[in-house]
Amino acid sequence: MVLLRRMIGEALRRRRQDQHRTLREVSSAARVSLGYLSEVERGQKEASSELLASICDALGVRLADLLREVSDDVEMAEVAELAAGAARVGASVVVPARSPAPMVDRAA
């Protein structure tokens, strides 16, 4: 089963490690305890929307970009789970191509 809190935590950790930053640096910038940030990254705690926005800000990442990345990760994990389940029963899985989300013109 795909757990959203785990996928969000993994994405946050990837972003932090890609920047070669420590938990201490990011937790200080996000104004969250080091222990709590660690639990969020490990998928043990579910971050509130406010905390998630604060962590993204500390990482210099747009919340929308992080959520898009997590959405893609969730989709890949779900497809892998479907394929594994189908393989156990000797079936095959056909995954329809996903159409891109419609673009919204907010200037209008």
Q: What is the mean pLDDT of residues 82-107?
A: 60
Amino acid at 29: A
State yes or no: pLDDT of 95 exceeds 70.
Answer: no
34 lies in some domain: yes
81 lies in some domain: yes
Q: How many domains does the chain have?
A: 1
Q: What is the pLDDT at residue 106?
A: 47
The count of residues in the chain is 108
Q: Provide the sign of the torsion angle of the four alpha carbons 63, 5, 52, 49, taken in this order.
A: positive
Read off the pTM: 0.76
104 lies in some domain: no
Q: What is the mean pLDDT of residues 64-77?
A: 95
Could you tell me the CATH number of the domain that includes residue 75? Answer: 1.10.260.40
Q: What is the pLDDT at residue 71?
A: 96
Mean pLDDT lowest for which of 10-24, 28-42, 70-84?
Answer: 70-84
Domain that holds residue 43: 4-85
Residue whose C-alpha is closest to residue 37's, from 59, 61, 66, 68: 59
Q: What is the mean pLDDT of residues 5-25?
A: 98
Q: What is the mean pLDDT of residues 16-27?
A: 98
99 lies in some domain: no
